[in-house]
Amino acid sequence: MKNSSSNKNIFIDAIKQSFAKLAPKTQVKNPVMLVVYLGAIFTTILYILALIGVKDESAGYTLSIALILWFTVLFANFAEAIAEGRGRAQADSLRSSRKDVKAKKLKAPNFDSDYTEILSSELKLGDVVLVVAGEQIPMDGEVIEGVASVDESAITGESAPVIRESGGDRSAVTGGTTLVSDWLIIRITAEAGKSFLDKMIAMVEGAARKKTPNEIALQILLVTLTIIFLVVTATLLPFSRFISNEVGLGSPISLTNIIALLVCLAPTTIGALLSSIGIAGMSRLNKANVLAMSGRAIEAAGDVDVLLLDKTGTITLGNRQASEFIALNDITEEDLANAAQLSSIADETAEGRSIVILAKEKFGIRGRDLSDMDVEFIEFTAKTRMSGVNYKGNEIRKGAADAIKAYVELNGGVYPEKCEDIVKKVANMGGTPLVVTKNFKVMGVIFLKDIVKNGVKEKFEDLRKIGIKTIMITGDNAMTAAVIAAEAGVDDFMAEATPEAKLKLIRDYQSKGHLVAMTGDGTNDAPALAQADVAVAMNSGTQAAKEAGNMVDLDSSPTKLIEVVRIGKQLLMTRGALTTFSVANDVAKYFAIIPVLFCGIFPELMGLNFMNLASSTSAILSAIIYNALIIIALIPLSLKGVKYREMSADKLLWRNMLIYGVGGLITPFIAIKAIDIILTIFKIV
């Protein structure tokens, strides 16, 4: 019900805005529709003149033309207004989360420092504030001390809180979000009115949307076509009068009909929808929780042909999973699984849980209640690089191969060569080996591997079909990277990647004419993000990464890059499809109007009136009625976008030509003839 009410409000507001946009300063921004606007004004004047006896055409006919032209302008305004209305609804939702709250401004950057309470709007760049659980973060900033859970649902829509901490790639916080636990000391990185949320609101509601290069180029083409038709139609009035008066053929074409002809010849369909297509594209990106800092970035995403993808979290799950127990010769696999499971019962990491699950799945070994037994759990530390359990006089440990080797040998045990061979084999296969020992005797190895996400290989295949090359970026060694790359089905990979290597890779591809997209979240990603044509920074990342990118993913999901590319391509496909339809429409309208309009002067042209339109009056009225109605009919398509399909540019072009080209050619003939029949039956003309 809430969504229905919201849509109703957007619809009502769009109707109001349609009339508000009739202001000349608004109309002049769209030159193609400006011609229709001026045509509506002139035909209105001609109607008034007809009422007082100065007739160009009959008053009723002129009024009909004037009203239809005004409706054409209103329909074009409505298309833009409804797209903007959606953006304003999103902006209002975001604006509700932006409040002027009290902030604890610290005198020194530490928890025990004295503070003064000031309003968030008074905070300056570089100020340090303390935020505790239950309080709203007053302004964008960087965490300089503390670790806490932050509720970002007001911005991202995700209900689960996220961790923000100092010193890492998850140090950026956004004003308007709420601290759920603990405390944070934050250095302010934005002033009032210039925060991330302020920029987001401006972009979402279209206030900061600038026309993109492709949009400008298309508009120049449409304006050029309109000027050509303006010149052509302007010459028809004196030409027809000369033929009529001097040669004595027929009667001259009226000014009303000349204006109507110009409107029908000009590319008004795409001219009316061009702005709404761009705004709707931005809106679709915002619905995907991605903020584009410019419309250019969305268009660039549609033209991207090289994707740089982080391995961890994008191609793989990000958490290594136990996939196999490899026992030494004198140990059974079940005994190894039993020991590994015992050592992992208290291990709450994803790796530890996966070991318990694998032992259960393979041998039915279930978790056991050790609460009443003499059990000592040994937690993993960066120093020991192992964890385990002391259980009924037994010492069971699992950990990195070199750490276990040192532990076994220090306690008088022997580290077998066979285990070293297994460790090397696992590493060469792209996995991580965990060695298990019981009472200083090595039992075998747990094979941990990065699990490639389900469906990723198919996604990369789809991208390949549309000419996009995928490159995996990872800090792993070349052997591990090669195994994951082969399993995921990427086209290429970069192992042991450094910030300099990423930057060089992007520049190399760009120098060959490619458009490159990448994701990043750390300060070390900033140079490459700044260089990439489409750079999606994670909202959870550092301020440097967010400033370097031209898009920010509010969900901080590295896989979002693929969705961004799809939305960009959908925007270009929608614009191309509707442009094709519009041009084809105009060609059909020429055949509908021109023969009957000039048959009084050149009777031979009646041979081209294969639609058998009743009269020139009926033909022109039918054409401009269709011209107005088709704008309304195409608004849903301009807002929703053409359905995205993975196919090559050539196939996409032919499909567009077949559906929107041929469809745009046939539809006007059918619709204009139908309108002509209705006008004739009801004797409207």
Q: Give dist(CA 450, CA 311) in Å, integer.
A: 9
| Two structure tokens written together for 253 | 């074409």
One-letter amino acid for residue 248 of the chain: G
Which entry of 127, 198, 310, 555 is annotated as an active-site residue?
310
Secondary-structure percent of the chain, ordered helix, strand, coil, rounded to 5 = 55, 15, 30
SS3 653: helix
Question: Is 385 labeled as ligand-binding?
Answer: yes
169 annotated ligand-binding residue: no
In terms of C-beta density within 10 A (0-12 exposed, 13-18 middle, 19 or more buried), how is residue 683 classed?
exposed
Nearest by Cα to 387 from 319, 446, 324: 446
Q: How far apart are the first and last CA of the chain?
A: 45
- Here the tokens at position 383 are 């120093």
646 is in an annotated binding site: no
- Report, in angstroms and rounded to the nearest whole number, the Rg of the chain calculated over CA atoms: 34
148 is in an annotated binding site: no
The single-letter DSSP state of residue 453 is P
Q: Verify whether residue 555 is a known catalytic residue.
A: no
What are the two backbone dihedrals, phi and then psi, of residue 78, each rounded to the nearest 5 degrees?
-65, -40
Contact predicate 424/326, CB 8 Å: no
b/e for 96-118, b at 16 or more Cβ within 10 A? Answer: ebbeebebbbbeeeeeeeeeeeb
Tell me if 429 is assigned to a ligand binding site: no
598 labelled binding-site residue: no
Helix segments in 491-615, DSSP class H: 499-511, 526-531, 543-548, 560-598
Phi/psi at 469 (5° precision)? -90, 135
The answer to whether the annotation marks 381 as part of a ligand binding site is yes
d(CA 474, CA 488): 13
Residue 233 assigned ligand-binding role: no
Residue 521 counted as an annotated binding residue: yes
Edge-first strand order for the sheet with 162-165 is 162-165, 147-151, 178-179
Q: Which residue from 589, 601, 594 is spatially nearest to 675, judged by alpha carbons? A: 589
User: Which two tokens mark 307?
Assistant: 């994707």
- Per DSSP (E only), the strands in 45-171 are 102-106, 115-119, 128-132, 141-145, 147-151, 162-165
- Strand order from edge to edge, sheet including 469-473: 290-292, 551-553, 534-538, 516-520, 306-310, 469-473, 492-494
Longest dimension (CA), the chain: 121
> Which residue is listed with tokens 């090559």?
648
Write the DSSP assignment of 384-440 as a string of letters: T-EEEEEETTEEEEEE-HHHHHHHHHHTT----HHHHHHHHHHHHTT-EEEEEEETT
- Annotated binding residue at 350? no
Q: Supply the DSSP symbol for 182.
A: S
Is 229 flagged in the annotation as binding? no
Catalytic residue IDs? 310
Can you say which residues are annotated as belonging to the binding site for ATP? 347, 351, 380-387, 398
Can you say which residues are annotated as belonging to the binding site for Mg(2+)? 521, 525
Can you say which residues are annotated as belonging to the binding site? 347, 351, 380-387, 398, 521, 525
